[in-house]
Amino acid sequence: MGNREEALKLLAPLESAELQQGYLPRVSIAATYVRLGEKDKAFDWLEKAYQNHDQDCLYLKVNENFDPLRSDPRFQNLLRRIGLPP
């Protein structure tokens, strides 16, 4: 909510948790990076979500958090790979 540095501090433990077992909210991390204007990092996390078969990927097409990515060919490619119609 307007505090970029605080958001980045909160993301750091989540990113390091990737090495641990358990649920990791990859799509939520990607959405946070979208809000921070870090599109490349958002796509990195979306790719991780896709590779890990995260169920949250099924809602990418309707999740308004990803509206800023919709015109990017990488997003359309991801939707296609997930099996969602364009």
* HEC string for the chain: CCCHHHHHHHHHHHHHHHHCCCCCCHHHHHHHHHHCCCHHHHHHHHHHHHHCCCHHHHHCCCCHHHHHHCCCHHHHHHHHHHCCCC
Domain count, the chain: 1
Q: Which two tokens stand for residue 1?
A: 């909510």
Q: Give residue 2's Cα distance to chain centre.
A: 19
Question: pLDDT-based confidence at 5, cuts 50/70/90?
Answer: confident
Question: pLDDT-based confidence at 13, cuts 50/70/90?
Answer: low
Supply the range of the domain harboring residue 65: 4-17+25-82
Q: What is the pLDDT of residues 16-75, one digit of tens each?
A: 655 555 667 899 999 989 999 999 999 999 999 999 999 999 999 999 999 999 999 999
Question: Do 30 and 42 form a contact (C-beta atoms < 8 A)?
Answer: yes
pTM for this model (two decimals): 0.79
